[in-house]
Amino acid sequence: MKKMFTFIIFVILTTTSAIAFANLPTNTKATRENLLEDAVIDLLRPQIGKVIENHYGTTFEIGTFCERIINIKKLDHPGSWLFQTKLEFTTFTGTHNSLDVFTVTLKKIGIQMIG
């Protein structure tokens, strides 16, 4: 009986704490600027992968986090499709092993990406 009571208390505490932490609000608002920054970072994933491969020789088990755009600008006239993006990210391997902090400038010239 004592084991059953302990088990029930354990289940109640686990469930209650999981529900309480699941409903915490985040500090980041889904503004247009944040959504556009996330979209640009997502579109630049292949080029970020090339930067990692050029530096480490592989992308195997190497990930990135804390990606942020430092600067983005058009290279020619305002209606052109030529962009230069400066972004920063941290690489990691495994669970808690941060490797390096990168600051990378990528240029889109026509349909070619230069990193």
Q: Does 3 map to a domain?
A: no
- The residue range of the domain holding 54 is 31-108
Q: Does 71 map to a domain?
A: yes
Q: Does 42 map to a domain?
A: yes
- Residues of 42-65 as b/e, b for ≥16 C-beta within 10 angstroms? eebeebbeebbeeeeeeeeebebe
Domain total of the chain: 1
pTM of the model: 0.65
From first to last of its 115 residues, the chain has per-residue pLDDT tens of 777 778 777 767 676 655 555 555 667 678 998 899 999 899 889 888 988 999 999 888 899 999 999 999 888 777 777 888 999 999 998 877 888 899 998 887 655 555 5
With left for phi above 0 and alpha for psi between -120 and 50, is residue 97 left, alpha or beta?
A: beta
Alpha-carbon span 38 to 46, nearest angstrom: 14
Q: Does 98 map to a domain?
A: yes
Q: Does 114 map to a domain?
A: no
Alpha-carbon span 20 to 24, nearest angstrom: 7
